[in-house]
């Protein structure tokens, strides 16, 4: 059975968007984590989160991130990844996952903690990817 995920965007400011991702196997919640994205700037490349909607997410491997995910079929965008990152400044339109929100670098913006560990757990739970629905509640 294909796993499904729901990402709910909860808070947005000029610099970033914070959310929660819930991963399901059928009706069972099997994983949840925090997400960090750039703010919504009309889907502009490198400076915006992607639009709300439904996407297929597959496994990808690169030298920079190792195993991670790629969000497919994003209108007018490519290489939208789910990869480890702690700060919004490390993102170019991708989605970072982590365990909790915390202002690590004391810049008055929430960061996410344990990003690499969280992604590794997610990859173990959903090694074949998943369907992703992104909702905006910010």
- The pLDDT value given to residue 1: 61
Question: In 3-136, which ranges are continuous DSSP H helix?
Answer: 115-125
The HSE-up count of residue 113 (CA atoms within 13 Å, CB side) is 7
pLDDT digits (tens, 9 = 90+) for 101-131: 999 999 999 999 999 999 999 999 999 999 9
- The pLDDT value given to residue 29: 97
Q: Which of 49, 62, 43, 63 is nearest to 10 (CA)?
A: 49
- The pLDDT value given to residue 2: 78
Cβ neighbors of 20 (< 8 A, separation 6 or more) are 7, 8, 10, 32, 33, 34, 35
- The pLDDT value given to residue 33: 98
Q: What is the pTM of this model?
A: 0.96
- The pLDDT value given to residue 138: 65
State both tokens at 93: 């339109």
Q: What are phi and psi of 123, to 5 degrees?
A: -65, -35
Q: What are phi and psi of 87, to 5 degrees?
A: -125, 150
The residues of the chain scoring below 70 in pLDDT are 1, 138
Torsion of the alpha carbons at 32, 87, 115 and 49, rounded to the nearest 10: 50
State both tokens at 57: 């997410």
């Amino acid at each position: 059975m294909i796993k499904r995920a729901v990402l709910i965007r909860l808070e947005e400011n000029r610099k970033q968007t914070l959310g929660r991702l819930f991963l399901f196997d059928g009706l069972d919640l099997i994983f949840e984590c925090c997400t960090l994205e750039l703010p919504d700037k009309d889907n502009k490349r490198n400076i915006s989160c992607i639009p709300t909607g439904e996407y297929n997410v597959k496994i990808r491997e690169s030298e920079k991130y190792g195993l991670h995910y790629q969000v497919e079929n994003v209108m007018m965008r490519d290489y939208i990844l789910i990869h480890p990152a702690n700060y919004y400044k490390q993102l170019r339109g991708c989605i970072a996952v982590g365990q909790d929100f915390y202002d690590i670098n004391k810049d008055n913006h929430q960061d996410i903690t344990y990003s690499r560990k969280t992604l590794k757990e997610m990859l173990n739970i959903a090694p074949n990817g998943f369907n992703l629905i992104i909702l905006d509640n910010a």
